[in-house]
Structure 1
Amino acid sequence: MFRKILQISIILALIVVILGAYTRLGNAGLGCPDWPGCYGQLSVPDAKDGTTIQGFSRPLNIVKGWKEMLHRYVASTLGLTILILFFLALKGKLQHQQSLKLPGFSAFFVMLQGAFGMWTVTFLVHPGIVTLHLIGGFLTTILLVWMFLNQKKTPTTYQNVLKEHKFVLLITLTILSLQIILGGWTSANYAALSCGEYFPTCLNKWWPDLDFTHALYWGSLGANYEYGILENPARSAIQVLHRIGALITTIFMLLLIYLFRNYNHLRFNLILSVILLTIQITLGVLNVVLSLPIIIAVLHNTIALLLLLSIITMVHKTFIKHNN
């Protein structure tokens, strides 16, 4: 039962990340101005679009409201399944290398993630909170996948990986993680289109007017950050940083693939990483030249998570002790 619920949890976590990206990119983060309900109800109010609900200054937007509530419903279901996993672990209903620590931490973390979901609304989509909420969604999925990998029977044919190759793997994981965080920061600050439809240039220049001083501006917790408050030079600087990060990430990914090419037990992960990296680069370019179509933007977010999970699986196969 633990394994089956864990599989369901992983699927739910992926759906939550996708819905979260769809909600954020659809500018529906404040589709319900309160939390956990929507205009004081458990679902979107049955009223005409644009109606002003008593007690709330923001007019009702039915489409945005349902985007936000659907995300909350699935996220709540995910939280419930993770709590069930913890109680099953508490009763000893698990196998192989799994301990109580990881299910326990996952249960704590998913509640913390729920708090960040609330703060995203109460702090009016503050970029820092939104980015941390995105990171939390990715980390929740990673925790569940790591638990799943611990539940698998490990083969006896895994090759030893050289220490210097392990180091490159960890560096690549770190750089990819930072790039994903930077992507979340780009989205949270509405900076995806700050360079216009130009690629690889920005605003048709190789180095336009960029404000790196305010690119990582945290901002106060009292302002309304919907649609962003930064001036375009600061947003353009964020976009340029994201592009530079993408280049660095690609270089390290290619280095990793080259160094690990002879490890047979990691071959599938390497092939998968090549495919996902190619798709991700393509989607990133299309986001710019096509002015951020929401489907492509959501896919860009999803592929980033899948690429990260592919590297996480390689880390598990490389660093976790296997049976001999």
Structure 2
Amino acid sequence: MAHSILNSSPTPQTADNPSQAIVRVRRLIWKIAIATVVLMAIGSATRVANAGLACPDWPLCYGQLVPTAQMNLQVFLEWFHRLDASLIGLMAIVLVGQSWWWRRELPNWLPWMSLVTLGLIVFQGILGGLTVTELLRFDIVTAHLGTALLFFITVVSMGVALLPYRGTGTAKSLRWVSLTGAILVYLQSLIGALVASQWVLHQCLSYKNLCAVMNSHIIGVVPPTVTVLALVVWALRTPALSQPLRILAKLSGGLVFLQIGLGVATFYLRLQVEPLTVSHQAIGALLLGSLVAFTVLAFRDARVVKI
């Protein structure tokens, strides 16, 4: 199914003159993608503020939809995190309805992939509940972020696949470089989730515990960084490469350097500046999204027959 997304695009006529159905569905998909980035940032803020158990029950908070009597910063962060997740779930349901209602005007894969997104968000909700009932168990917290990133990847892939695009047929090899980079960034994000969910930085610096996990995350920066820089250089040295791919390559390169800078600052400041930690999580998600977008467009570009 993922292969069909990477190799599918609307017909040339639809791509140049998208129907109202495609425009509306695409707009909803990008709203979901933005809300997902916000959700992950709020989730990171909830963790650094030690607010993961601020609402001791689930799915309600202190048995209420809006816990006004108990509201403080920690409760607000956890409550708002759940609210954003609920809104994304509702939008995913709407996406399924729209995709099947307008299925004759949409690519064949879209209704099925909308069901996949709904399944992922339901599973994500279950993991969210387990993070509370299991008292922030690190493996569940890591799976929670990993599923959120998979959901984000799926949504971005769908949105990019529906964009109008005229390729040049020059990205055949670049698609594999960007795909490799996306996989490496995803794996590095999972290691980062393990570091965060176990407070590995504090454990390592204060008690010399879990330093292997910390070092794995630090060393793990190298493979994705080298891959993304190779993508940027290769893209810039391909004169006929389309402008959208060129922009995405530059964006990925810039995000890599920003992410490394945030990681170094977070390490040396020992997580004392919460906005840096939250930004580190958000920029990592955006980097992954840019690489996924490049990959999808590159696979579409590779289908262009040069004359």
TM-score by length of 2: 0.83
Aligned to 1:74, which of 74, 80, 84? 84
Range 72-81 or range 91-100, more displaced = 91-100
Q: Which residue of 2 aligns with 1:187?
A: 196
Q: Which consecutive aligned stretches of 4+ in structure 1 deviate over 6 angstroms post-superposition? A: none
Letter in 2 for 1:91: W
Q: Check if 1:253 corresponds to 2:228.
A: yes
Aligned-pair Cα RMSD in Å: 2.0
Range 253-262 or range 234-243, more displaced = 253-262
- Contact 1:96/1:152, CA 8 A, preserved across alignment: no
Percent identity, aligned pairs only, is 28
The alpha carbon displacement at 1:33 in A equals: 1.2
- Contact 2:92/2:118, CA 8 A, preserved across alignment: yes
- Contact 1:96/1:153, CA 8 A, preserved across alignment: no
Letter in 2 for 1:105: V
Structure 1: gaps of 5 or more residues: 48-60, 197-202, 204-231
Q: Which residue of 2 aligns with 1:35?
A: 58
- Contact 2:256/2:287, CA 8 A, preserved across alignment: yes
Q: Which residue of 2 aligns with 1:234?
A: 209
Matched pairs, number: 275
Letter in 1 for 2:25: F
Q: Which residue of 2 aligns with 1:209?
A: none
Letter in 2 for 1:314: F
Q: Which residue of 2 aligns with 1:106?
A: 117
- Contact 2:204/2:211, CA 8 A, preserved across alignment: yes
The alpha carbon displacement at 1:27 in A equals: 1.2
Structure 2: gaps of 5 or more residues: 1-23
Q: Which has the higher contact order (CA 8 A, sep 6+)?
A: 2
C-alpha spacing 1:314/1:307, structure 2 compared with 1 (3 Å): same
Q: Which residue of 1 aligns with 2:249?
A: 270
Deviations 1:207-256 (A, max 9, x none): xxxxxxxxxxxxxxxxxxxxxxxxx4332221111101012322222223
Q: Which residue of 2 aligns with 1:279?
A: 258
Q: Which residue of 2 aligns with 1:303?
A: 283
The alpha carbon displacement at 1:7 in A equals: 2.5
- Contact 1:97/1:150, CA 8 A, preserved across alignment: no
Tell me how far apart the structure 2 counterparts of residues 249 and 159 of structure 1 sit (CA, whole Å).
Answer: 23
Letter in 1 for 2:191: L
Q: Which residue of 2 aligns with 1:294?
A: 274
Whose helix fraction is larger, Structure 1's or Structure 2's?
2
- Contact 2:175/2:294, CA 8 A, preserved across alignment: no
* SS across alignment from 1:309: helix
* SS across alignment from 1:174: helix
The alpha carbon displacement at 1:166 in A equals: 4.1
Letter in 1 for 2:276: I
